[in-house]
Structure 1
Amino acid sequence: TAKGAQWAIFPNLHVKDAEWKKIFRDVRFRRALSVAVDRHEINQAFYFGLARPSNNSLLRESPLYNDAFAKRWRQFDLELANKLLDEMGLTKRTGNGIRLLPSGKPLEITVVFSTEQSAPSDILELVTDTWRKIGIRVLSKPLHLEIMRNGIFSGTVQMSMWSGLENGIPNDGTSPEELAPTTQQQYQWPKWGQYMETAGKSGEAIDLDVPRELFRLNDTWRSARTRQERSAIWNRMMDLFTDNVFSIGLISGVPQVIVANSSLKNVPEKAIYNWDPGAHFGIYRPDTFWIDTGK
């Protein structure tokens, strides 16, 4: 598959609770959560080591790939995670080691995921274990997809788990709109996306500097005339996107097994399986597949 991350966790920057909103909008918190994920363990436990531990970034098959961006905040480092949370002032704990919010409430996060998939539930068990080691309790909650989305859009959902960047192998001619607040369907900042989709009639205006800059850069890309200009914009946007950890990628490059009858010819032995780009099989011209009848 060619998604930026097969699975990612999205802190909702528009969660209704004001205290949680402030916590989620602190980049130190998002970075702490990211480095407190053991991606190697996830890869070994669920994908037999065949996938790639990753953040939500571009894949090495992309001409825009930058190794530094792909590795940013994806190392497993509980000491660093604890340091970042301590720097935020989240030093008080309950008797069983759960950190306390400034209000005195325990730092408990509910992560919702769609019932359409079984993998999130299993993967979240490992995330729950390692986040517990930095004083964060995780509750997982399966929801029907539409109910999950409505909760994200309304701000009642704290965090959600879904796939990362739809296209992890873009080139300079591919729109970088996934990296900026451009649609309500982006689970980390739905109200900014809604604001842009409706020309300000709904949602909220962007009120953080980095997302505002990402939106400006995306707009600049649309009028860029050369490949060099477009590539430079992509590079800057990926730099900001990965450093600020607006989504916490867990794993990428997950193999997709396709079974084809041996008599079906012209089917590639190894290929990219992704909706964007390629419409899954579409890019390989299934109209050119043919059946060898042996006659």
Structure 2
Amino acid sequence: MSKLLIAGAMALMAGNAVAACPTVTGPDAGGAYPHLFEKSEFESIQNCTLSFNENPSIKQLNGRIAGNPKLLPLAQRIPQEPLVIAPYKSIGKYGGILNGISKSTESGTSDFLSVRHVNLVRFSDDLATVVPNVAKSWQWNSDFTVLTVNLRKGHKWSDSAPFGAEDIAFWYNNILMDKNVIEKPKDRFLSAGKAVKVKALNATTVEFTMNEPAPGFLDNFAQDYAQPFLPKHLLEKFHPAFNKDADKLAKAVGFDNGYALVNFYYGQSDWKDIPTPLLKDKAATERLVKAGYTAIMPSLESFLVVEDSLEGRRLVANPYFFQVDTAGNQLPYINEISEVYIGDEDIQTAKLISGEVDYKAQAVNLPQAPVLLENKDIGNYEISLRPTIAQTTFAFNLTDKNVEKRAIFNDLNFRRAMSVAIKRDQINDIAYFGLGVPTQYTGFDADSTPFITDKLKNSWIQFDQKLAKQLLDKAGVVDLNGDGLRDLPSGKKFELNIQYATQGTSTEVVEIVAKNWTDVGVKTTIKEVTSDAYRNSQTANDLSVLSWVMGRPLVSIASNTEILVPPYGSFFDLRTGMLWSQYLETNGAEGIAPPATVAEMKILTDDFVKLKVGTEQSNKVGIQIAEKVVDDLFIIGTVKAVSPIYRSKALANFEVPKTSSYEFYRMYPYLPSQWYLTN
């Protein structure tokens, strides 16, 4: 063949190779997963080559990320193996500000955290299928003891540094397992109570080796707020294990030592809603930027914090985000997020009614729904009522500082009495407009877990004041002075005060429960507090009555059993038995020894996490766990209902969630990176 013909053939081939890709939308585009493609997969299916486009404002947005370097060209910002998103309905347009509202920093903010959140994997919007995200793919060995995760070639942190397997190994081995940073790692990141072996096999492959089978280990990252990666390239400079001059370097920018600076960036927590360096210490942040560092820790998320104050925060699109749409547009479409803090529920409702917010789900309680529905045309928004997974629950402090109250709370007769004293039909009618179902707390989501029986759901939920009074008598809580109210066995007054936050419990529910308990002779008052105040008091063991939404789906408990063992949840949940937890953590050196049932539950939960969810053996252990939760009644259920989800009509590509739930990390399964604003 002549050189001319060869050149012509090559030119023809090149012309075919750069054929424009179709702008595919919707879930059924032919990929391995709904709405998702790997780049090579998409190009093969469509017989095309993707070309890429950037947000025309991205240079200006990058300039607002304090300390971020000059922007690289788009081809160097997007990974060689980007994740390709087929939007829900349409290819979006760039620009605009997504307006949000939260209670305060670290309070009522998880719905907006979920908008920008990324993790190794996520649940698809069927809430059943685990799909790729930061991770390109993964493999388990035959007995679920070795997990191999494959990352994307060319993926970069928000400051342009390469992201890879070393960042995951660093997070685990040098942050999570370093007591100078994290005093005690969370149980969900351990295996048989011991560290997992995490090793970077090469730049894009990381291996997790368990101490026993852990089939739910990866699934945990599909729903977890914690991200299993940190920017080693930044933090290792100040980490004494990596840099002998770490302390010297940290002192040069005004910190006591290297660990102090690591903690300044990291915040000593996987919960990324702690105040950023921008809020913690403005002067220190300015010194870091002047020394050539970024003001915030580099991220893989879709949006980065550029302003942080006690009034709110501002975020801009990540110029190095790893997702593109099927037209090759780098996501996210939206330029900015503006999140303001409004603690007062009435003011929050007024702002929702006036259309000042584009999306809100958390801390929008069902009693607000009628007024929101009535005004939705005026405010140009929509309200969807979706089922919840968690329900409002109550509990008593099983390690209360008042020893006499503690003894009462540990009497099963007392807990059963207080459960049957609750008029759940009244809660349903008044607080939930008849849209809920009275249900006992079983740990697992009673509606979606196949082995939860009607008997369990209905245990000790009947309204029976006569039985309640009989059980209180058995517990030794009787009226000793004839004033109509029950006293402690010592003769002292027995009064309960429910401190609650509307983020976790609506006022209407608390009012009903307090009256119900007072009606059987246990005088109960209520006091509304902020979420932060509630959580801090609860963790300090200062509350006698606890109330929050509790309950998780089967897949969540299969990978994380923290709600079933002391203290029965994280900082963000209802917690009881804090001194039991302390006793177990210190091998009896501190705290209070828990009863035998706690050890029995630990055996069951240890077995449960070794089993593949949905198998006959897993279901057998699961029902034993649920039965013990109901038998112990450490946590008392009320009513499972629905919850409002608010969104502006201007917010496009919005998929109404199947549930209104923190348990799947709110909007994370629904691809908020492809949202855009139409006005």
TM-score, with structure 2 as normaliser: 0.39
The 5-angstrom pairing of residues 47-196 of structure 1 reads 47-57=432-442, 58-114=445-501, 117=503, 119-165=505-551, 167-168=552-553, 170=555, 173-181=558-566, 185=571, 186-196=574-584
Identical aligned pairs, as a percentage? Answer: 24
**Whole-Å separation in 2 of the counterparts to 1:203 and 1:39:** 39
247, 251, 269: which one aligns with 2:639: 251
State the alpha-carbon separation in 2 of the partners of residues 163 and 102 from structure 1. Answer: 32
Note if contact 1:31-1:244 (Cα within 8 Å) is conserved in structure 2. no
Whole-Å Cα distance in 1 between the matches of residues 652 and 503 of structure 2?
A: 30
Q: Which residue in 2 is equivalent to 1:276?
A: 663
Any idea what the Cα deviations from partners look like across 1:189-238, whole Å, max 9, x if unmatched? 22233455x45487536420112211221122233467222222211111
CA apart distance, 1:84: 0.7
After superposition, what is the alpha-carbon deviation per residue over 1:106-150, rounded to whole angstroms, capped at 9, x for unaligned? 221122113x54954332221122112211100212333343334
Consecutive unaligned residues of structure 2, counting only runs of 5 or more, are 1-386
Q: 1:220 to 1:206 in 2, by over 3 A?
A: farther
What is the letter of the counterpart of residue 4 of structure 1? Answer: A
Residues 184 and 255 (structure 1), Cα distance of their counterparts in 2 relative to 1, 3 Å cut:
closer
Partners of 2:586 and 2:555 in 1: CA distance: 27
What is the deviation of 1:28?
0.7
Q: Provide the rounded CA distance (Å) in 2 between the counterparts of 1:239 and 1:145.
A: 31
**Counterparts of 1:263 and 1:16, CA distance in 2:** 49
Residue aligned with 1:255, SS: strand
More displaced 10-residue stretch of structure 1: 180-189 or 155-164: 180-189
**Once the 2 structures are TM-superposed, how far is the Cα of residue 181 of structure 1 from its aligned partner?**
1.9
Deviation at 1:80, TM superposition (A): 1.0
Tell me which amino acid in the other structure corresponds to 2:512.
L
Q: Deviations over 1:49-78 (max 9, x none)?
A: 112222223221223432211111111111
Instruction: Give distance in 2, aligned partners of 1:68 and 1:137.
Output: 31
Question: Is this contact kept in 1: 2:479–2:487, CA < 8 A?
Answer: yes
Distance 1:225 1:3 in 2: 22
Amino acid of the residue matched to residue 134 of structure 1?
Answer: V
Residue 643 of structure 2 aligns to a residue whose secondary structure is coil
Aligned 8 A contact 1:31 1:73 in 2: yes
Q: Amino acid of the residue matched to residue 204 of structure 1?
A: G
Which residue of 1 is the match for residue 197 of structure 2? none
What letter corresponds to residue 271 of structure 1 in structure 2?
K
1:231-279 deviation per Cα after TM superposition (whole angstroms, max 9, x unaligned): 22211111011122111222223232333528834724x61121222x2
1:224/1:230 contact within 8 Å kept? yes
Structure-2 change in CA distance of 1:64 and 1:290 (3 Å): farther
Q: Is the 2:642–2:660 Cα contact (8 Å) retained in structure 1?
A: no
Greater mean alpha carbon deviation, residues 284-293 or residues 174-183: 284-293
Bigger mean CA offset, 91-100 vs 74-83: 91-100
Equivalenced residue count is 287
d(CA) in 2 for partners of 1:150, 1:201: 24
Displacement of 1:37 in angstroms is 0.4
SS at match of 2:659: coil
Q: Which amino acid in structure 1 is aligned with residue 560 of structure 2? A: S
Per mean C-alpha deviation after superposition, the further-off stretch among 53-62 and 200-209 is 200-209
Work out the CA distance in 1 between the residues paired with 2:640 and 2:589. 34
Name which one, 1 or 2, has greater alpha-carbon Rg: 2
Q: Distance in 2 between matches of 1:16 and 1:93?
A: 23
Give the match for residue 42 of structure 1: 427
Corresponding residue of 2:388: 2
Q: Structure 1 residue 157: deviation in Å? A: 1.5
| Match among 591, 616, 619 for residue 228 of structure 1 | 616
Deviations 1:85-115 (A, max 9, x none): 122233334433101211101221122113x
Deviation of 1:24 after TM superposition, in Å, equals 0.2
Separation in structure 2 between the aligned mates of residue 204 and residue 229 of structure 1, nearest angstrom: 35
The one-letter code of the counterpart of 1:113 is Y
The 2-side partners of 1:144 and 1:178 are apart by 23
Q: Which amino acid aligns with 1:43?
A: N
Contact 2:601 2:628 in 1 (8 A): yes
Range moving further from structure 2, 116-125 or 13-22? 116-125
Distance 1:27 1:201, change over 3 A: closer
Are the equivalent residues in 2 in contact too, given 1:177–1:218 (CA < 8 A)?
Answer: no
| C-alpha distance in structure 2 between counterparts of 1:117 and 1:41, whole Å | 21
AA matched with 2:477: L
Q: Identify the structure with the greater strand proportion.
A: 2
Which amino acid counterpart does residue 236 of structure 1 have in structure 2?
Q
- Equivalent position of 1:23 in the other structure: 408
CA distance in 2, matches of 1:56, 1:153: 21
Higher RCO (CA 8 Å, separation ≥ 6 residues)? 1
2:449–2:553: 8 Å Cα contact kept in structure 1? yes
- Over the aligned positions, Cα root-mean-square deviation in angstroms equals 2.9
CA contact under 8 A between 2:399 and 2:578: conserved in structure 1? yes
Cα distance, 1:205–1:99 mapped onto 2, change above 3 Å: closer
SS at match of 1:257: strand
| Residues 1:286 and 2:672 aligned together | yes
List alignment gaps of at least 5 residues for structure 1.
none
For 1:184 and 1:159, how far apart are their aligned partners in 2? 17
